[in-house]
Structure 1
Amino acid sequence: GSISTDGYTVYRMYDGEDSMVLHIGCWTHCRRLWVDALPSDRRAMDIIDPIGDMFRNEDLFRMMKLSSGQIKEKRLKLTGPILERIHHKVVMMMQDAKIMANELMRKAVNYTLNQWKSLRNILKDGAAEISNNLCEQRMKPVKLLLKNCMNIGSEDAAGNSAFIFSLIESCKLNDIDPQDYLKHLFECILWGKVCDRKALLPCFYKS
Structure 2
Amino acid sequence: MGYADETPYRVLESEKATNYFWAFSNFEHSEKPFVIFHYAQTRSREIPRAFLADFKGYLHCDGYSSYDSLENILPVRCYAHVRRKFYEALPQTTACETIHPAEYVLNQLKKCFKLEQDWKPLSPKERLVQRKAELKPRMDALYRYVGEISAVPKSKLDKAIQYFMKYRKDLERVFEDGRLELTNNQSERLIKDLVMGRKNYLFSTSYAGAEALGNILSLLKTSELNGLNPSKYFTYLFEALPNLPVLTSKHVDDYLPWSPKVQEHCKA
Scaled by the length of structure 1, the TM-score of the pair is 0.74
Higher strand proportion (structure 1 or 2)? 2
Residue 136 of structure 2 is aligned to residue 84 of structure 1: no
Taking structure 1 as reference, are residues 55 and 205 closer, same or farther at Cα in structure 2, changes over 3 Å only? farther
After the TM superposition, which residues 1-207 of structure 1 pair with which residues of structure 2 at under 5 Å, given as runs? 1=1, 2-14=58-70, 19-39=71-91, 42-62=100-120, 65-93=121-149, 96=150, 99-101=151-153, 103-146=155-198, 148=201, 150-154=203-207, 156-179=208-231, 183=236, 190=248, 192=250, 207=263
Post-superposition shift, 1:157?
A: 4.5
- Structure 1 residue runs of 5 or longer lacking an equivalent are none
Shift of 1:102: 6.9
How many angstroms does 1:194 deviate by?
A: 8.3
Q: What root-mean-square deviation, in Å, do the aligned CA atoms of Structure 1 and Structure 2 show?
A: 3.2
How far apart, CA to CA, are the structure 1 residues paired with 2:252 and 2:72?
25
Aligned partners of 1:31 and 1:51 also within 8 Å: yes
- Normalised by the length of structure 2, the TM-score is 0.59
Which structure 2 segments of 5+ residues have no match? 2-57, 93-98, 264-268
Distance 1:140 1:194, change over 3 A: closer
Q: How many correspondences in the alignment?
A: 190
Contact 1:181 1:205 in 2 (8 A): no
Contact 1:50 1:86 in 2 (8 A): yes
Shift of 1:179: 4.8
**Rg bigger for which structure?**
2
Deviations 1:98-131 (A, max 9, x none): x234711101101111222221112123222212
| Distance verdict in 2 for CA 1:60–1:149, change over 3 Å | same
Query: Alignment identity in percent?
Result: 23
User: Is 161-170 or 26-35 further displaced after alignment?
Assistant: 161-170
Alignment partners' CA distance in 1, 2:196 and 2:76: 27
